[in-house]
């Protein structure tokens, strides 16, 4: 079986838009091509929870008819999009990666999905996620664990919780995908799967209609093939002009020592150092900075996120349903019930203090730079019920991403180019809150210097 080429592999969103408007392709042909790729590849990759083939083709027909009659919805028109299965989509089930019915906590589709529809996007399906978006591994032994498309010989992790979204983009099973990020759940999978992941400033896009992991920390954002594609998505959904690539010379990056832990794998460190050296050679200044307060981030994140998750989930629901959950997720929710109101209030108070003083940490600096993950994508040990096995896997998938959420910053994972025989690494960029356009401009500039990540060799997957 020969499957169609990925319609956006050449030229990205901009190139696709040009071909669509010149009649070289259609929304129907593009959607059909992605559906064929899903049918061939996803039985092994397991990136989708639900594929809405008839609805997607019907929506594509409507897009083609609209374009033929002179109606143009903008640069995202006709692009098949995959949506993380903790976000409600009209006419599709939402499982939140769980066997527990939490539809009442999610509600109907929210403002973000209305924006996607208004932009002319075609939702092709729902991607798999870690249960309740509460883990950074990508593992979900009750509803299925997506496989990293960068290794056909070894089942490797995608990271989480936007596991299926990142893998689907990497494998060319959608034009771009939507994920959520509470503590790194967009950036982590983007790094492990070699795609671009954007965590916007909280509040830029509404999170209604998505599972409430943490009311304080949740964000919705895109996973794309490139920084350029992310900038186009950003502009289309915000109603602004596309952020242009920044001028390289004169950019100043801070390198927080806390983000470069001794846990950093040597091969990841070498890739990061090579990228930073190339940026420096192009005119970027990189300075080491000491921010001792970053050591407070993980405890604050745990207290705030688990307390808010337990509060939204409820003790009675947990009592009735905990046995239906992945054991590690059930244990995390249970820990949230043990957090006292005083502990939560103190954590929120300290968070606000750190957010206020963090603005000074960016004085004279355009962005922070660091790793996304400490290591490379580990092998999947298989379905498990042991909490110790879960903890070991979580540790293998860890990285310094939570500061952006706790401090109200915006951040991205920029995939670094690499040989086809090696595994992906992401370069993390972090900017002040509400500096999202600056973040995207920097990412685009760095992409021009470093180049773009290749697409994985998928010949070892699927029915060809």
Whose tokens are 């998928």? That residue is 458
Of 314, 312, 334, give the one whose Cα is nearest residue 323. Answer: 334
Bridge-based pairing state of the strands 285-289 and 367-371: unpaired
Are the C-beta atoms of 338 and 250 separated by less than 8 Å? no
Residue 32's nearest CA partner among 120, 122, 118, 92 is: 122
The DSSP call for residue 210 is B
Query: Which of 303, 328, 147 has its CA nearest to residue 214?
Result: 303
**Positive or negative: CA dihedral 392, 138, 257, 276:** positive
Distances (CA, A) of 56 to 1, 63, 211: 23, 10, 23
Token pair listed for 24 = 């070289």
Main-chain dihedrals φ then ψ at residue 102, nearest 5 degrees = -125, 25
Do the strands 220-224 and 196-199 form a parallel or antiparallel pair, or are they unpaired?
antiparallel
Q: Residue for token digits 């070498």?
A: 270
- Annotated active-site residue 84? The verdict is yes
Bridge partner residues of 45 (DSSP): none
- Residue of 428, 440, 430 whose CA lies nearest to 410: 430
The single residue of 162, 163, 185, 358 carrying the catalytic annotation is 185
CA atoms within 13 A on the CB side of 240: 12
Q: What are phi and psi of 135, to 5 degrees?
A: -150, 150
- Range list of H helices, 219-326: 227-238, 266-281, 297-313, 315-321
* Of 315, 321, 316, residue with least CA distance to 101: 321
Q: Exactly one of 135, 161, 165, 214 is catalytic; which is it?
A: 161
402: closest CA among 182, 101, 203? 182
Question: Tokens 């143009």 sit at which residue?
Answer: 72
Q: Catalytic one among 84, 126, 128, 373?
A: 84
Phi/psi of residue 47, each to 5°? -85, -25
**Tokens standing for residue 146:** 């997506």
The span from the CA of 172 to the CA of 37, in Å, is 8
- Could you list the active site residues? 84, 161, 185
């Amino acid at each position: 079986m020969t499957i169609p080429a990925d319609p956006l592999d050449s030229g990205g969103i901009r190139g696709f838009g040009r071909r669509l408007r010149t009649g070289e392709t259609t929304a129907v042909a593009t959607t059909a091509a992605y559906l064929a790729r899903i049918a061939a590849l996803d039985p092994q990759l397991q990136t989708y929870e639900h594929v809405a083939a008839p609805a997607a083709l019907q929506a594509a027909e409507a897009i083609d008819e609209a374009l033929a009659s002179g109606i143009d919805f903008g640069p995202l028109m006709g692009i098949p999009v995959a949506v993380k299965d903790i976000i409600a989509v009209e006419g599709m089930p939402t499982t939140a990666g769980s066997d527990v019915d939490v539809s009442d906590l999610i509600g109907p589709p929210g403002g973000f999905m209305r924006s996607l529809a208004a932009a002319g996007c075609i939702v092709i399906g729902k991607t798999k996620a870690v249960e309740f978006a509460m883990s950074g591994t990508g593992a979900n032994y009750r509803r299925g664990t997506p496989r990293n498309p960068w290794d056909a010989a070894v089942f490797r992790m995608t990271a989480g919780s936007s596991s299926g979204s990142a893998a689907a983009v990497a494998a060319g099973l959608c034009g771009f995908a939507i994920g959520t990020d509470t503590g790194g759940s967009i950036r982590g999978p983007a790094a492990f799967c070699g795609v671009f992941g954007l965590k916007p400033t909280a509040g830029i896009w509404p999170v209604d209609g998505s599972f409430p992991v943490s009311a304080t920390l949740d964000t919705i954002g895109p996973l794309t093939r490139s920084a350029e594609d992310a900038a186009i998505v950003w502009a289309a959904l915000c109603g602004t002009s596309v952020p242009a690539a920044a001028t390289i010379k004169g950019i100043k990056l801070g390198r927080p020592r806390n983000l470069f832990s001794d846990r950093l794998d040597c091969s990841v460190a070498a890739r990061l150092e090579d990228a930073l050296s190339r940026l420096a050679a192009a005119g970027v200044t990189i300075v080491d900075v000491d921010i001792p307060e970053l050591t407070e981030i993980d405890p604050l994140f745990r207290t705030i996120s688990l307390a808010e998750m337990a509060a939204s989930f409820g003790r009675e629901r947990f009592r009735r349903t905990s046995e239906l959950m992945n054991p590690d997720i059930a244990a995390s929710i249970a820990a949230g019930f043990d957090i006292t109101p005083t502990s939560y209030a103190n954590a929120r108070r300290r968070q606000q203090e750190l957010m206020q003083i963090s603005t000074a940490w960016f004085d004279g600096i355009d962005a922070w730079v660091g790793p996304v993950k400490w290591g490379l994508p580990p092998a999947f040990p298989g379905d498990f019920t042991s909490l110790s096995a879960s903890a070991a896997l979580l540790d293998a998938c860890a990285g310094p991403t939570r500061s952006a959420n706790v401090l109200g910053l915006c951040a991205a994972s920029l995939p670094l180019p690499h040989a086809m025989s090696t595994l992906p690494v992401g370069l993390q960029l972090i900017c002040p809150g509400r500096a999202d356009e600056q973040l995207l401009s920097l990412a685009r500039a760095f992409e021009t210097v470093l180049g773009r990540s290749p697409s994985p060799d998928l010949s070892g997957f699927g029915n060809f």
